[in-house]
Amino acid sequence: MTLALLSSALTSKPSNPFFSRNPCPPRSSIPLPFIFADVKPSKKQSMDGRTSAPRGKNSNTKKRSSYGTSRRSIIKKSFSQEQVVFTSPVVSDPVVGIIGGGIAGLVCAATLEERGIRSTVFDTGMHGLGGRMATRLIECEQQLVFDHAAQFFTVSDSKFQKLVERWLSQGLVREWKGLVGELEVGGHFKPIPSSSPRYVGVNGMKHLADSILCQKTMVNIVRPCWISQLDPFNGRWHLSEKGKLHGQFDAIVIAHNGKCANRLLSSSGLPLLTKQMKRLELSAIWALLAAFKDPLPISCNGTSSAFEGAFVKGIDSVSWMANNASKLFPSHNGLPQCWTFFSTAAYGKQNKVPQESIPAITAEKVKKDMLGGVETALGLTKGTFPLPFYTRVQLWGAALPTNTPATPFIFDPQGRGGICGDWLLGSSVESAALSGMGLANHIADYFQSEGAHSDEFAVGLQDAFRLVPGHDIGQFPGTNYGEQICKSPIAVAG
């Protein structure tokens, strides 16, 4: 793996890539390895003589809109941005820029390498990669370890199964055999039969994310880096962070979502991607990390072993609780008990604040509500729940998708841009990984086709959205937990 900051020498940033009177910068300022035909704004007739509306399997050319039938006018009026159309020939040695180093972006980069394509992954992570596969390490007398978003994952798809088997053989994941079940108010615990194995990252989910690209030689990682601008210019995408150019790419992948992705796409020249991204809705979930000196008073209906994870029912402030100490370090006795608690999405919505600056008063309230919720769930007398010696609350403001287009990925061949992420298929580690893998293979096929019948590579640009259940904790395909995607499409805005 090459951990390299991309050329900061490429300082010249294109001003107006579409309509600049002098679109080509002096060669000395941007040493392009390839010079392509320039990017054109969308026209009814594109350079190769075909009509420009995508005719891929998912495009819906019959659909009329209140803006009329001309796609160009729809785009203009809806999104105030013109569609980028790359007319330059595809190159034989393309490089892909991937914005987002969560599991979707990482698997996308790894799969591109398997197909012989170079990429750079940009991620905002200060301490590592992984996004919502996050593990927090706290240095106290003894180190405290908490998985504070994804808790475990399941496998239902054979392609993901193969990947997980590789991770197993590399020692990056292992099966979590601890007792997991449903906890109802009053301490009524019911084990969930493990019909499908539950996997966890060895030493935490973040360690898995940080390791996925370790052996890769065709992937650059740039972090911490917040890509804030996408500019199509001279046949390539120029990616920059606050005016600083971070490289040029033959295709781009948006591997993140939420407000940040909406902002990034809003002036990108990719209105169809923008439109789909804007339809996505996300839940908010509070996480409480709490460490206790002694084991929690859990009885498990008289069974000898205490549960390690439970989906909590009937309490607004708690939907899940798991003991990281026994989950991650089953053979170590005497470790402090590090528990992760999640609220429901309903509680997250009621108590939403800006996640970057949580008011102290809100943090205190949430902590009290959540610990009180656990006390009630366990059926303890009020005020008897043990006091944690360490706590931290965090709001996942863009936690889990509540709707999905149920397409593995989105790709716009005209703009040579795609989207991958959990929300395209559901709300789980598996759906994110499959999405990244699917998009990488599609991009590889697109480049291999050398641009022939490019429109046929359009995917997911018009797909309707459906509800996705399981947004309190996510989906666990292969189990009976929140795995089914709602069959009926819901109303599509705009």
Ligand X SMILES: Cc1cc2nc3c(=O)[nH]c(=O)nc-3n(C[C@H](O)[C@H](O)[C@H](O)COP(=O)(O)OP(=O)(O)OC[C@H]3O[C@@H](n4cnc5c(N)ncnc54)[C@H](O)[C@@H]3O)c2cc1C
Comparing CB distances to ligand X, the nearer of 86 and 176 is 176
Please state, in angstroms and rounded to a whole number, the distance separating the CA atoms of residues 190 and 180.
8
Comparing CB distances to ligand X, the nearer of 54 and 373 is 373
CA angle 443–449–455, rounded 5-degree value = 75
Residue 56 in tokens = 């891929």
Query: What is the distance, to the nearest Å, from the Cα of residue 298 to the centroid of all Cα atoms in its chain?
Result: 34
Residue 39 in tokens = 């990017």
Please say whether the beta carbons of 150 and 432 come within 8 A.
no
What is the smallest separation between the CB atom of 155 and ligand X, expressed in angstroms?
10
Comparing CB distances to ligand X, the nearer of 133 and 363 is 133
Please state, in angstroms and rounded to a whole number, the distance separating the CA atoms of residues 310 and 300.
11
Tell me which residue of 425, 453, 405, 158 sits closest to 277, measured CA to CA. Answer: 405
What is the smallest separation between the CB atom of 449 and ligand X, expressed in angstroms?
27
What is the smallest separation between the CB atom of 442 and ligand X, expressed in angstroms?
16
CA angle 415–456–405, rounded 5-degree value = 75
Comparing CB distances to ligand X, the nearer of 88 and 475 is 475
Comparing CB distances to ligand X, the nearer of 131 and 271 is 131
What is the smallest separation between the CB atom of 313 and ligand X, expressed in angstroms?
17
Comparing CB distances to ligand X, the nearer of 54 and 470 is 470
Please say whether the beta carbons of 109 and 269 come within 8 A.
no
Comparing CB distances to ligand X, the nearer of 100 and 413 is 100
Nearest residue relative to ligand X (C-beta): 102
What is the smallest separation between the CB atom of 195 and ligand X, expressed in angstroms?
16
What is the smallest separation between the CB atom of 347 and ligand X, expressed in angstroms?
12
What is the smallest separation between the CB atom of 79 and ligand X, expressed in angstroms?
19
Comparing CB distances to ligand X, the nearer of 179 and 432 is 432
Taking each helix axis as running N to C, give the angle between helix 429-448 and helix 158-169, from 0 to 180 degrees, rounded to the nearest 10: 100
Tell me which residue of 183, 147, 112 sits closest to 443, measured CA to CA. Answer: 112
Comparing CB distances to ligand X, the nearer of 243 and 383 is 243
What is the smallest separation between the CB atom of 18 and ligand X, expressed in angstroms?
22
Comparing CB distances to ligand X, the nearer of 74 and 225 is 225
What is the smallest separation between the CB atom of 88 and ligand X, expressed in angstroms?
25
Please state, in angstroms and rounded to a whole number, the distance separating the CA atoms of residues 115 and 107.
12
Please state, in angstroms and rounded to a whole number, the distance separating the CA atoms of residues 266 and 410.
16
What is the smallest separation between the CB atom of 133 and ligand X, expressed in angstroms?
5
Binding site for ligand X (CB under 6 A): 99-105, 122-125, 131-133, 149-153, 225-227, 255-256, 260, 264, 285, 287, 342, 396, 399-400, 421-422, 427-429, 432, 473-474
What is the smallest separation between the CB atom of 393 and ligand X, expressed in angstroms?
12
Comparing CB distances to ligand X, the nearer of 8 and 304 is 8
Comparing CB distances to ligand X, the nearer of 53 and 104 is 104
What is the smallest separation between the CB atom of 280 and ligand X, expressed in angstroms?
11
Please state, in angstroms and rounded to a whole number, the distance separating the CA atoms of residues 207 and 173.
9
